[in-house]
Amino acid sequence: MISRQLYKLCKTIVRTNRAVHTSAIHFEEPEHPFKRTVRILTDDVRNFLKSPLRGFSPPSDIFPRHADILIIGGGAVGSSIAYFLKEKTGLRGVNIVVIEKDTTYSKCSTVLSVGGLRQQFSLPENIQMSLFGAEFLRSVKKRFGPDSDVYFTPNGYLMLATEHGAQQLIDNSKIQTELGAVNKVLSKRELKERFPWMEVEDVEAGCLGLEKEGWFDPWALLGMLKRGATNMGTQYINAEAVGFNFEDQQDVIVDGQLTGTYQRLDSVDVKLPDGEVKTIQFAYCVIAAGAESGELAKLAKIGNGEGMLTVPLPVERRKRYVYCFECQEHGPGLNTPMTIDYTGAYFRRDGLGGAFIAGLSPQPEEEPPTTNLEVDHEFFNSRLWPLLAQRVPAFNALKVRSSWAGYYDYNMFDENGIIGAHPYLFNLYIATGFSGHGIQQAPAVGRAVAELIIDGGFQTIDLTRLGFDRLLIDKPMYEVCIV
């Protein structure tokens, strides 16, 4: 890990020019200024005629040679960033392009998540982002139209703790309520009275979210964010980023760089579904590619360069299973919250027909391969089912109905999101590593990245501590007693 001294030595002195601008488009052969002006004006007129102001769809049929802001990853986080950038800049203020390699989203972490929303964290930043997430979900009809709905179920979360973790649960609750969350810490007796179907002999306390917590349809949220961004002029391209290109900048001086010239990111090579590779130049780029972000960052020399570029983006794919089952006996009622056991096992109702979903993160030595999304049913039988049956005796009699697997963008450093500008590549921003919390934090992350790029700094929630810099100075941001 790079030391604080090396971090200070390598820190670039050119970090202040973060206002959005349209950089000049560079070609292999010089372009006559007059021809360039005519071409740009022609493109502007064509885009205007196809913009929502004229009642047409955005120009998705024209491959973009240039983007003011290029976002790699069109899931909930990437689409949220595009939406808030457009909200801040207006329909035609900034040219935004989103690259998404799987427009069916069949393997997208967003749509394979369980769609939870909670404020029960120990870090103020995560609590505040989740609070904004709740506010955003309440405003979807105003933002996206009267027919918009994310089908929110406001049953809350219930976090259980043993005697060892009870005090931390109480301390976490105090932080949450101070920031605006609404929850209540229940004793063992109160838990049993409120949830008679639960076995609480080994539980000391539980924290129940009373407002702004529950679960929603992730696919619906993604659809609204993408539609909102597209309707304001964002262009989505079905392609995969396969390489970055750099440009020497003679006018940039970097402390600690004794040889060579500073190189900025200039463009990205993308592979289209038919195998053709094209190049898109950009002024700014955002990596919001979820579980693929770590590998994508390597293409920008992050983790295999010099100085600060020796520090990788510590995000990798981790596979997680979700099981849907029916309880054969009289089990938890319709008001059952999303219950998270102190063992890490979780469950909640799925609809009104008596079905439940449940999951459990494996131990490090149990991590399954990520080459496919196949589900290990033995994991349910040997690891998860015993924990469920211990907490809810009625779950001794259940029948697994279906299952699926999805990928976490797992941050190996501290399991929290990495949000903000790269400290060396000044025109590269990062929004990834949420380790299972990305769907609920997507609205806040989108707004935060838009603030950084357009305003030059955080305007609402200060997420400075979640920036890439913490990797350089070895200062992890751990959650305490939080799954």
Instruction: Using DSSP, state whether 363 is helix, strand or coil.
Output: coil
Higher pLDDT, 5 or 474: 474
Mean pLDDT, the chain, rounded, equals 89
pLDDT digits (tens, 9 = 90+) for 118-130: 999 999 999 999 9
Kindly state whether residue 332 falls inside one of the protein's structural domains: no
Burial class (CB in 10 A: 0-12, 13-18, 19+), 410: buried
Statement: residue 137 has pLDDT above 50: yes
Q: Which of 40-54, 91-105, 357-371, 375-389 has the lowest mean pLDDT?
A: 40-54
Q: What is the pLDDT of residues 312-322, one digit of tens each?
A: 999 999 999 99
The confidence score (pLDDT) of residue 23 equals 34
**Element (DSSP H or E) covering residue 429:** strand 428-432
The Cα 418–Cα 415 span in angstroms is 9
The answer to whether position 417 is within a domain reads: yes
Which tens digit of pLDDT belongs to each residue from 143-153?
999 999 999 99
Extract the tokens encoding 326.
Answer: 């029916």
- The secondary structure of residue 232, as a DSSP letter, is T
378-405: b or e for each residue (b if 16 or more CB lie within 10 Å)?
A: ebbeebbbebbebbbebbeebeeeebeb
How many alpha carbons fall within 13 Å on the CB side of residue 116? 23
Mean pLDDT value across residues 391-399 = 96
Question: In this model, does residue 9 exceed pLDDT 70?
Answer: no
Hey, what amino acid is at 374? E
Q: For residue 37, what pLDDT is reported?
A: 47
Range of the domain at 83: 61-115+217-314+412-482
- Residue 108's domain is classified under what CATH number? 3.50.50.60
Q: Is 73 left (phi over 0), alpha (psi -120 to 50) or beta?
A: left
CA distance 221 to 203: 35
- Alpha carbon separation from 351 to 152, 195, 320, 354 (Å, rounded): 11, 19, 22, 7
pLDDT at 3: 45
Residue 432 lies in a domain: yes
Backbone φ, ψ for residue 6 (5° rounding): -65, -35
Would you say residue 256 lies in a domain?
yes
Q: What is the pLDDT of residue 259?
A: 62
Measure the CA–CA gap between 225 and 202, rounded to whole angstroms. 43
Per-residue pLDDT at 403: 98
The number of domains in the chain is 1
Residues 92 and 59 sit within 8 Å (Cβ to Cβ): no
- The lowest-confidence range among 88-92, 98-102, 370-374, 454-458 is 88-92
Mean pLDDT of 452-479: 97
Q: Span 171-186, mean pLDDT? A: 98
Look at residue 465 in the predicted model and tell me its pLDDT: 98
Strand partners, 96: 69
As a dihedral over the C-alpha atoms of residue 447, residue 449, residue 454, residue 455, rounded to 10 degrees, the angle is: 80
Instruction: Report pLDDT digits (tens) over 347-383.
Output: 999 988 889 999 999 999 999 999 999 999 999 999 9
The verdict on residue 143 lying in a domain is: no
Of 254 and 419, which is predicted with more confidence? Answer: 419
Going by C-beta distance under 8 Å and a sequence separation of 6 or more, which residues neighbour residue 293? 73, 287, 313, 315, 409, 430, 432, 433
Query: Phi and psi (nearest 5°) for 319?
Result: -90, 135
Q: Is 364 helix (H, G, I), strand (E, B) or coil?
A: helix
Counting residues of the chain whose pLDDT is more than 90, the rounded percentage is 80
The answer to whether residue 247 sits within a structural domain is: yes
Q: Is residue 140 part of a domain?
A: no
**Domain contains 339:** no
